[in-house]
Amino acid sequence: MSAFLQYLVTGVARGFLFALLATGFVVIHRVTKVVNFAQGAFAVLGGFIAYSLLRAGIPHGVSEVIAVLAAAAIGLLFGAVTILGNMSPIASLITTIGLAILSEAVAMIAWGTTPLTFSGIGGADIHVAGVYLPKQYLLLIGVSMVVLIVLWLVLDRTYIGKGMTACASNPYAAKLSGINVKRIGLLAFAIGGALGGLGGVLIMPLFPLTYDGDVSLAILGFAAAIVGGLPRPRARWWACLRDRRADGGGLLVAS
């Protein structure tokens, strides 16, 4: 029984990693219609950046936050390359694969080919009913739950979230209503980058990452996204049109 519970806890923790990656896939695809196979690269680069910052003496917490923000910036850059060229969905998909290969080369040059890891939460791990619970597992599960709930609230109840839903359901109608569809697409890529980077910094203390680990992460995240409903955006664009307010040149207003 204890062995079953041990496998269950490990599986749940890994499942939350895949949930973060899958959510990044879904957010990007629903807004831009791009299947972003560079999603795994965000996790690897985020984890490697956190590793370098920790080795430079920057404390835990700060290093991880900076790494997640850096992954969001990388996602924004990948989004600019992918969607600003007005490419077809197939061309955009191939572009993301090329960007993933490029990120592997950069990671190999910068960090080498040796698997890398760093220490997670300090202190003794928890033992309950014969089940070994590393604190990093609990951190991974807890942080992932909080982030996914906050993201759901943002996408479901904020002006930006309604704008993203509008772009997902009917980009043409969203553009006519004054929403800058390309800016929303870039925002989606930044969110995908942040989610991937967060997964990388949370899982790296448990499972060392290599420069080419993005392939397996992307495949598993994509599989989870397909199971969760990648091609079925929620049709709520009319809510955005109903609640839209003049923004005076803000993020969502077309320039």
Question: What is the domain range of residue 214?
Answer: 17-139+180-233
In a domain? residue 156? no
Tokens found for residue 76 = 């924004």
Residue 40 near residue 216, CB atoms below 8 Å: yes
pTM: 0.85
Tens of pLDDT, residue by residue over 243-255, are 444 444 444 444 3
In a domain? residue 2? no
In a domain? residue 245? no
In a domain? residue 173? no
In a domain? residue 244? no
User: What's the length of the chain?
Assistant: 255
Residues of the chain with pLDDT > 70, as a percent, come to 86
In a domain? residue 164? no
Beta bridge mates, 253: 179
Tens of pLDDT, residue by residue over 229-245, are 775 544 333 334 444 44
In a domain? residue 239? no
What is the spatial distance between Cα 210 and Cα 35, in angstroms, rounded to a whole number? 23
In a domain? residue 134? yes
Residue 96 near residue 80, CB atoms below 8 Å: no
Residue 39 near residue 163, CB atoms below 8 Å: no
